[in-house]
Amino acid sequence: MTASRRWAVVAAALLLALAGMVALLLVRGGGSSASGRVAATSSAAPSSASTSSATSSSARSSSATSSSARPPATPEVVFIGDSWTVGSGATGSHGFAPLAAEGLSWDYHLLGIGGSGYLMPGGGGPYMGRVGEAVALHPDLIVVAGSLNDSRADLGRLYEATANTLMRLREEAAETTAILVVGAPNSPWTTPSVIERINQDIAAAADAAGVTFVDPVKENWTDPADPAIWADELHPNDVGHQRVADALAPLMQEALDRDRDR
């Protein structure tokens, strides 16, 4: 073999070796690149802890949204009273109490007993006997209405009986329960001076108990001389009950709002 031929063979061998080394380097470079992409993907993916935290945060946000979207509870009122509270004189005995509550879209409970008052027992005992039942209902408002029936009792005992009833009611009811006291109304059957005396005692007792009083006579809720509002000499008809409800409803709302602002 000539020298030139040997150099040609050596050159060819060197070229083949060089090509193999280049190919090997290219293969190693591709593997490193793939590993880098995996690392980047792993770094971008959230850890299980952060996923849990994000989920928990999302749940709290959802809970807060649900809580803020929840409508407020419907106010509840309890009425303690006499035959007017029962609804005597109104169609289906649907008198001023349910009419006032329904006008405000409130729930209500009626604890009325015909013939009763702070002194008069009527058919089931005076108002004091219903204090516990009213308080146990945990209402937002308690309305104590009347009573013209006490005009047949010993009025010398009225202030004490009324004060004891209202003080017990205020002491036993929740602080969040508002109390509204409505005095005795006039009717064709009553004597104005006697009703005035009754309402003076009820007003004084309400003041001593720290509860709100309204005089329906001074506010002219029921005119004894208006025949259009009376079912009989003692009880209003549908028109009369509606007039009382229309006068009472805004006072109920005011009493509730005032109590909530305390």
Task: Encode pLDDT of 211-245 as tens digits.
Answer: 999 999 999 999 999 999 999 999 999 999 999 99
Answer for the pair 236, 229: CB distance below 8 angstroms, yes or no: yes
Answer for the pair 144, 169: CB distance below 8 angstroms, yes or no: yes
**62-71, 114-123, 189-198, 252-261: segment of lowest average pLDDT:** 62-71
Class of domain 76-260: alpha beta
Residue by residue, DSSP assigns 17-52 as HHHHHHHHHHHHHHHHHHHHHHHHHHHHSPPHHHHH
Answer for the pair 127, 117: CB distance below 8 angstroms, yes or no: yes
Q: Is residue 83 annotated as a catalytic residue, yes or no? A: yes
Q: Which of 56, 57, 61, 232 is catalytic?
A: 232
Q: Which of 83, 116, 147, 151 is catalytic?
A: 83
As a whole number of angstroms, the distance between CA 249 and CA 124 comes to: 27
Give the global pTM. Answer: 0.73
Q: Which of 82, 140, 150, 235 is catalytic?
A: 235
Classify residue 210 as exposed, middle or buried by CB count within 10 Å of its CB (0-12, 13-18, 19+). Answer: exposed
Query: How much is the average pLDDT of 164-183?
Result: 97
pLDDT at 36 over 50: no
CA distance between the termini of the chain: 118
Question: Domains of the chain: which residue ranges?
Answer: 3-69, 76-260
As a whole number of angstroms, the distance between CA 199 and CA 215 comes to: 7
pLDDT tens, 186-219? 999 999 999 999 999 999 999 999 999 999 999 9
Q: Is residue 235 annotated as a catalytic residue, yes or no? A: yes
- 55 — pLDDT class (breaks 50, 70, 90): very low
